[in-house]
Amino acid sequence: MTAYENLALYIDGEFVADGRKSQDVVNPATGEVIGKLPHASREDLDRAIASAERAFAEWRRTSPLERSRILRKVGELARERAQEIGRNMTLDQGKPLAEAVAEVQGCAEHAEWHAEEARRIYGRLVPSRDPNVRQMVIREPVGVCAAFTPWNFPFNQAIRKAAAAIAAGCTLILKGPEDAPSGVVAMARLFHDAGLPAGVLNIVWGVPHEVSSYLIESPVVRKISFTGSVPVGKELAALAGKHMKRVTMELGGHSPVLVFNDADIDTAAVHLAKFKSRNAGQVCISPTRFYIQEGVYDAFAERFVDAVSKIRVGDGLEKGTQMGPLAHERRVDAMASFVADAHDRGGKVLTGGERLQLGGGKGYFYAPTVIAGLPDDSRLMTEEPFGPIAPLTKFKTTEEVLKRANSLPFGLASYVFTTNLQTAHQVSTGLEAGMIGINHFGVALSELPFGGIKDSGIGSEGGSETFDGYLVTKLVTQV
């Protein structure tokens, strides 16, 4: 069997696996079973809750300097182990090795950013009406948190939540993605080896809705953080609301790209093709609706299709691979159904549009695809594809494109290509999105807030906003 991460639960400072129900983990490039993932029993979940509660009593009182020291060590270890963690993520998630290694290296920065920000969790003194009264506003950790993270960036999504909760003085029970679990187990090992006390971080696995409802309903858990699809996010937020618990929700999007007549078309086409194929398009901020102004439509389409059709698809461990397989079979079926609808709605496939028979025919590969001429109410233009498909459509005026871009319930990322300052200002003001990239895509850095509006989510991760969801405000007024 291929060498792979030693999968486990992590509860109260111990990695445990034996004697539990388990599920197969499959390499999406080959269909080979590469590991067995243990599921948490009810007793395991109760133990995780009890250890997080016990640990919170101590952890909330640790100094920010101590939390900071551990997070810095996590960052250092992540850099040291990036090759090994990345390789295992390519095996279970499919992304090219260079992308997987870069994900881990980038996450070292998330750990370091939270190490730095932990030392700047300030309260304030409010001037009083009475000279004998002192009014103090204090920010305290919310308590035990539960987090649910997805399979597209297994390491990144988990460490962002863990670093924010832990740096704020909270403790955490995290359920990672069963389809691609190695990155989360590796992350737990980093925290363990960095000296995190037992119970501050716990990792569990299981049937997603069973684990999430059990944890959200537990009176011990005070805050929920989820990254995943809009329907699941709404379900979890509703359950959290029923129990008056705070939420951070990082949900799906359907990111419009606006390419104006005055844009640098060559650069836009090449960079968009590369960005679109990243992680085989399974990225919540992936560009997914391409609105091209009519004066440059033909030139852009030609260059973009040329760049997309040259993307080398293959096993992520093979040298030269630029795009790996989709993470699981259901994403391949989803792509086929989007393309079938596109055919029905009069769309023209300019490149791709089919499953690729790679990995001995057992891999979940889909060709990078460009489709033109779809109406705005087609499935591809209204539902997040979460895969390597790009629909191109024309627009005439700025007012028109803003209206069309804002017409969906999503509001995650948007991208604009223009060399006109006034246009850049007008569209960045008019677009309903949590993040807007103008002439580039730099929206996911540790020092920047990452989050959506409308159906795309509640709250931000990263930036100086990162602790907002993990702290509560307490007023102390003293005579």
Q: Does 322 bind ligand NAD (CB under 6 A)?
A: no
C-beta closer to ligand NAD: residue 89 or 259: 89
Q: Does 35 bind ligand NAD (CB under 6 A)?
A: no
**Which span sits near ligand NAD by CB under 6 A: 77-85, 244-252, 263-271, 425-433?**
244-252
Q: Does 384 bind ligand NAD (CB under 6 A)?
A: yes
Six token digits for residue 190: 């980093």
DSSP 95-162: --HHHHHHHHHHHHHHHHHHHHHHTT---EEEPPSSTT-EEEEEEEE--EEEEE--SSSHHHHHHHHH
Cα 104 to Cα 101, 234, 342: the distances in Å are 5, 29, 36
Residue of the chain from 92, 99, 103, 250 that contacts ligand NAD (CB under 6 A): 250
C-beta closer to ligand NAD: residue 23 or 439: 23
223 CB-near residues (< 8 Å, 6+ apart): 142, 143, 144, 145, 146, 170, 245, 246, 247, 248, 469, 470
Could you tell me which of 172, 213, 178 has the C-alpha nearest to residue 60? 172
Rule CB under 6 A: which of 198-217 touch ligand NAD? 208-209, 212
Q: Which residues pair with 413 in a beta bridge?
A: 435
Rule CB under 6 A: which of 333-362 touch ligand NAD? none
- Give CA–CA dist 107/171, Å, rounded: 20
Six token digits for residue 1: 């069997």
Amino acid, res. 460: S
Residue of the chain from 141, 252, 256, 388 that contacts ligand NAD (CB under 6 A): 252
Q: State the catalytic residue, choosing from 5, 112, 178, 250.
A: 250
Task: Say if residue 81 is exposed, middle or buried (CB neighbours under 10 Å; 0-12, 13-18, 19+).
Answer: middle
Q: Does 451 bind ligand NAD (CB under 6 A)?
A: no
C-beta closer to ligand NAD: residue 76 or 235: 235
Six token digits for residue 245: 């618990």
Q: State the catalytic residue, choosing from 284, 384, 432, 461.
A: 284
**Which span sits near ligand NAD by CB under 6 A: 46-54, 164-172, 226-234, 437-445?**
226-234
CB of 315 to ligand NAD, least distance (A): 22
φ, ψ (nearest 5 deg) of residue 6: -85, 95
Residue of the chain from 30, 68, 93, 152 that contacts ligand NAD (CB under 6 A): 152
Query: Is 76 in the active site?
Result: no
Query: Is 107 in the active site?
Result: no
Binding site residues, ligand NAD, CB under 6 A: 148, 150-152, 177, 208-209, 212, 227-229, 232, 235-236, 250-252, 284, 330, 384, 386
- The residues carrying an active-site annotation are 250, 284
